Amino acid sequence: MNKPLSHIILERKTLLIGERWAAEGEHGTMEHINPSTGKILGKFASAGVSDLNAAVAAAKAAYPAWRAVTADQKREILLKLGALLERHRAELDMLSSMESGHPISLPSTGVAIDHVLYNAGWIDKLEGQTVPVYPQRALNLVEHEPYGVIGAIVTWNGPLAMTAMKVSAAIAAGNCVVLKPAELAPFAPARFAELALEAGLPPGVLNVVTGGPEVSDALVRHKDVGKITFTGSIPIARQILKAASETIKPVLLELGGKSANIVFPDADLDNAAHMSAFFGAMMVAGQGCLLPTRLLVHNSIYDEFVERVVTNIRQAKLGDALDPATMVGPVISSRAVERIMGYIDGAKNDGSAKLLTGGERGRGALADGYFIEPTVFGDVDNRSRLAQEEIFGPVLSVIRFDTEEQAIAMANDTSFGLAGYVHTNDLRRAHRVASQIEAGYLGVNAFPPMPASAPFGGWKESGVGKEGGRIGIEEFRRAKNIYIPLD
């Protein structure tokens, strides 16, 4: 009997070293659990330090030849990769939904394609500089060179998009890459690498090492890795920074957020309510670092506006990620369920906020999966755990404010600084408030779609550096000054 496409996809090998694919690593295999069902979906290679060392060696060996490849040839490879991603879009959408639980109605493959094609377009436009020097006459050149080997560590929420964002920028800048996918979502990154080889990327330029935390630690500490790019949690980022300090290597960090979404009385309330509901508690089950999970509403419209938000949320279908009608899928794991329900139950029990909707696990046919109802708490204290800690689940905290100054102060009263959102039809207020919010990514009357041409990254504990745009490519190049006397 023929196997369903879903099983065929998940039986692909996930460990790539040079041009050699393997289904098992030093530690054999690991099981992947389908978040929608709670059942085993497939297995993937569980690599160890020896596998990681071999991958870094393969990348180091491939680097001189890859650096020498001409810009037009590099560009053509990435353009072919973009075309292959487009050709396999339906497959990749399904693969990402199965492994991460993101609804197939909200595919992310298009984001991956955009980043690959955007970065391809920059390859033949990355120039250096000639700068004036004195007091002697000289030709002073500033060249921007690759680091050599980049270690890329991606998390599980949007694994394909993040892989494309990091890998295409790094190789466009002339580097080779060792990619470490998350244990909870290894298949889409491996499929990306498979298509990259098909597009003509030379063996060793991109290597994939799937496995546990020891692989990430060894990658960060490896002396032949020139820079690390990491997307994930702040506690893991602190470990990475300590490990990277051994070799004094730079680290690009895209971390968490607790982004404020400020709604003023003069806003388009229908638009603001839809955006607040969908992105604040529904999209990818709240598992996004830049989602507006703190909703700050002016007191004069509080009751009316919150009712609109709750109505929007109650109309959303909670269900299997592969159901086209599903708007809210499962969270990623049983551990995530326990952690998120801990926040919800804590707030329900201590009376620190008012539960407006949700607050329970999925029932009936959803009971075996990792489902949590989209949840809204009202009258939340801005200094409470609900408002200050990144829950990374479908939980929206609604907070009252009276003045513009108070809203700005509350928005900035957090250790995070990833994103911020403002809803108003007063253009001067929009500029004024957006300029005062301490965050790296702002949206006015909208949720920015993270275009490949725009730099993305946080301030404060939300990260260091930028991804996307030309700035995102420059993160993977380093300046060298060359001084040539003319007298």
Indicate the CATH number for domain 5-255+462-482.
3.40.605.10
Question: In CATH, what is the architecture of 260-451?
Answer: 3-Layer(aba) Sandwich (3.40)
- The whole-angstrom separation of Cα 251 and Cα 254 is 10
- At 10 the pLDDT is 65
- At 9 the pLDDT is 60
Please tell me whether residue 328 adopts helix, strand or coil conformation. Answer: strand
**How do beta strands 176-180 and 206-208 pair?**
parallel
Domain ranges of the chain: 5-255+462-482, 260-451
Q: Quickly tell me which residue has 């009971």 as its tokens.
A: 367
Kindly provide the b/e burial profile for residues 444-473, where b requires at least 16 CB atoms within 10 angstroms of the residue's own CB: beebeebebebbbbbebbbbbbbbbbbebb
pLDDT tens digits, 26-57: 999 999 999 999 999 889 999 999 999 999 99
User: For residue 334, what is the DSSP state?
Assistant: H
Q: Which residues of the chain have pLDDT under 50?
A: 1-2
Q: Whole-model pTM above 0.85?
A: yes
- The whole-angstrom separation of Cα 452 and Cα 112 is 9
Identify the H or E element spanning 464. strand 463-464
- Which residue in 80, 106, 86, 44 sits closest to 323, CA to CA? 106
Residues marked active site are found at 254, 289
Domain 5-255+462-482 matches domain 260-451 at the CATH topology level: no
- Which residue in 60, 39, 47, 40 sits closest to 21, CA to CA? 47
pLDDT tens digits, 398-457: 999 999 999 999 999 999 999 999 999 999 999 999 999 999 999 999 999 889 999 999
- At 1 the pLDDT is 37
Cα→Cα distances 467→20, 163, 168, 362, Å: 30, 12, 11, 35
Using the Cα atoms of residue 131, residue 133, residue 138 and residue 144 in order, give the sign of their dihedral: negative
